[in-house]
Amino acid sequence: MKYAYFPGCSVEASAHEYGMSCMAVNKVLGIELVEIPDWNCCGSIDAVHAYNPELSLSLSARNFSIAETMNMDIVTLCSACFFTLSRASKMLHEDPNLKGAVDKIMNDAGLKFTGESKIRHYLDVLINDVGPSKIAEKVKVPLKGLKVAPYYGCLIVRPPQVRSFDDPEHPKSMDKIIEAIGAQSLDYPDKTRCCGASLVLTDESVMLEMTKDVLLSAKAIGADCIVTPCPMCHFNLDAKQADVEDRFDLNIDMPILYFTQLMGLAFGLNPKDLGLGRNVVSLKKILEKLKPPIEVAAKP
């Protein structure tokens, strides 16, 4: 299985452990992600799209154009990138005038958008191309007894008319992977509720309130940890968790992992290769539940 890989800005920086764990898991599952050469930001900043939609769409179109020369579909880890590239593809397919304006920009750069390459989220590839059965076959450390709350967030499942591979209200793809690696997937009402990540710079108080609701919802159902496929959601739930605790005088202590990190643990991979030392909230209480227990080096 071979795909054109669009890392996106977050996975190259704040979510580096997401990319690390993905590549480690890929070696086990036989997935090859070939990085798109000279890729650029997908144009996900809404301010750019609101101010100059042609420029925003051209950023996405340039990535598509390069990937099309590779004759592969595009796969990304980032939910925001997945949404932005999906939106751009839909708009350029459905609006001839807009496509004409973007084509002119692409022509000036010596590129052409044909729309032949599809954009897919990595979770889509795992559940529909690999499948839960093959994932289960690779498990070396069954995560029996571990209660996991899957958090999808907004952009990976909505709006469904843009591009969707799962139910927008009751997604199950990540749940199936959690069950395949031997853990218990918990259902709860906030699994697709927005965590407020887009408000982190404009109204942090609202963001912290929304993040609190998600964290407490998972805690109320007895989750040992939350897993997510979204870098922005992970940042809010993990890095901002201490701010939530301070603001609302709470003790949440909820470990947050990328779902690929959890898969890597089940596959018996080296914690260092999964970037587990980069997580902010301590993972000690869930790693001690594994048989044998796993230790992670302190953060550098």
Q: Which residues contact 269 (CB under 8 A, 6 or more apart)?
A: 24, 25, 28
Residues 286 and 255: beta-carbon distance below 8 Å: yes
Amino acid identity of residue 22, one-letter, is: C
Distance CA 141, CA 268 (A): 6
DSSP string, 126-145: IIIII-HHHHHHT-SS--TT
The encoded tokens of residue 89 equal 């593809």
Closest among 41, 47, 19 to 229, alpha carbons compared: 19
Residue 6 vs residues 11, 108, 194: alpha-carbon distances, Å: 10, 23, 24
Reported as a single tens digit per residue, the pLDDT across 132-172 is 999 999 999 989 999 999 999 988 988 888 878 999 989 99
pLDDT at 162: 85
> With b meaning 16 or more CB within 10 Å and e meaning fewer, what string describes 2-25?
ebbbbbbbbbeeebebbbbbbbbb
Q: Could you give the residue ranges of the DSSP H alpha helices within 8-121?
A: 16-29, 46-51, 53-68, 79-94, 96-108
Q: Does pTM top 0.85 for this prediction?
A: yes
What would the pLDDT profile of 30-89 be if each residue is shown by its tens digit? 999 999 999 999 987 665 666 678 888 999 999 999 999 999 999 999 999 999 999 999
Report whether pLDDT(17) > 50: yes
80-124 per-position pLDDT tens digit: 999 999 999 999 999 999 999 999 999 998 999 999 999 999 999
DSSP assignment of 228-288: ES-HHHHIIIIITHHHHHHHHT------EEEHHHHHHHHTT--GGGGTGGG-SS--HHHHT
Domains of the chain: 2-121 (1.20.1050.140), 140-287 (3.40.50.11810)
End-to-end CA distance of the chain, in Å? Answer: 35
Sheet holding 74-76, edge to edge: 32-35, 2-6, 74-76, 119-121
Angle, CA 82 vertex, CA 278 and CA 161 arms, to 5°: 140
CA separation, residue 167 to residues 73, 78, 171 (Å)? 22, 18, 5
With a pLDDT cut of 70, the percent of the chain lying above it is 96
